[in-house]
Amino acid sequence: MIRLTRLNGDPFLLNPDLIEHVEVTPDTVINLTTGHQFMVRESADDVASRVLEFRRAISQPDEWMPAPQPGPPAGSADPRS
């Protein structure tokens, strides 16, 4: 998700996978594949940068997610039972 700001100042998170295109009219208008539109305070270039940053983060999860902790070996008994 990317964090954006509506024109009234309310922040919200947007799934960038739903962005179809971004227009500047002069406000930045984000058109989604669902048919919804959002007018935001951020510039079109800023929206594009946030989408790119999001894509980089999900393509390299080790940079933003901790490594999984090893669990008990497969087939071992649960010590709580």
E-assigned strand segments in 25-63: 28-32, 37-40
**25 sits in which H/E element:** none
pLDDT in tens, 18-58: 999 999 999 999 999 999 999 999 999 999 999 999 999 98
Q: How many CA atoms lie within 13 A of 7 on its CB side?
A: 8
pLDDT at 60: 83
E-assigned strand segments in 6-63: 11-14, 19-24, 28-32, 37-40
**Would you say the pTM of this structure is higher than 0.85?**
no
Dist. CA 61–CA 74, nearest whole Å:
25
